[in-house]
Chain A
Amino acid sequence: EVQLVESGGGLVQPGGSLRLSCAASGFTYSSYSMNWVRQAPGKGLEWVSYISSSSGTIYYADSVKGRFTISRDKAKNSVYLQMNSLRDEDTAVYYCASGGNFPDYWGQGTLVTVSS
């Protein structure tokens, strides 16, 4: 069974940092591109970042470029999202999702709240 389990969310002040993790199991993780997608409270889905299977290709949404960094560790079957200079508008549930052209599997999400 495919499982993606996110962790690392929480309450942080504006300007602060958080590191999200996503542990994968049940599929050939090393062969899959991985992504982060977020959903603000009561709002729709927003793609955040992409990393290829080799980590050789990385993309970010304009809204997070320069502030967020995606990475992956094949030995730990995990993908990470380092979030710096957090803003109120970054408050959301953050999902990791596998897939290149489209998300096929999703984690259950981790809530990030940016508030003073």
Chain B
Amino acid sequence: NFMLTQPHSVSESPGKTVTISCTRSSGSTASNYVQWYQQRPGSAPTIVIYEDNRRPSGVPDRFSGSIDSSSNSASLTISGLKTEDEADYYCQSYHSSNHWVFGGGTKLTVL
């Protein structure tokens, strides 16, 4: 099994760009797709990036995903920050036997 480590919190101003990292503890990040979820208070998570860098329909192109094999990590980048982007963000991947592994979550504050 592996773990996914995210920063506990990040903050940035409206209109700016923020990047949230997700580092895999063992095995290669490139070996399994990474997804990203947004969760607003009191609501269920919703997917914003799937298969490393693909955006579901309806998700603004301000959201983008990438992976970096050198640091064995994935990243979620949100550009042109809006106050409505303030939420918790979780990365997710899977290992054998279809088990889902989630990162600990990152609280994004837009101030």
Contacts and interface: CB of A to CB of B under 8 A. Distances in A.
B28 to A, nearest CB: 16
Nearest to B34: A102
B101 A47 contact: yes
Given A101-B33, A102-B33, A102-B50, A46 B102 contact: yes
B105 A102 contact: no
B44 A95 contact: yes
A33 interface: yes
Nearest to B32: A101
Interface residues of B, number: 22
Contacts of B101: 47
Contacts of A103: 35, 37, 45, 47, 92, 100
A44 B98 contact: no
Interface of B: 32-33, 35, 37, 43-47, 50, 90, 92, 94, 97-105
Contact of A45 (B43, B90, B99): B90
Contacts of B102: 44-47
A109 B42 CA distance: 10
A113 interface: no
A102 B44 contact: no
A101 B32 CA distance: 9
Nearest to B47: A104
Interface in A17-55: 33, 35, 37, 44-47, 50, 52
A115 to B, nearest CB: 21
- Candidate in B35, B100, B104 with the most chain A CB atoms within 10 angstroms: B100
Contact of A101 (B37, B47, B94): B94
Given A103-B47, A103-B100, 20 more contacts: A33-B98, A37-B100, A44-B90, A44-B103, A44-B105, A45-B37, A45-B90, A45-B102, A45-B105, A47-B100, A50-B98, A50-B100, A57-B98, A61-B99, A101-B98, A102-B100, A103-B45, A104-B50, A106-B45, A107-B44
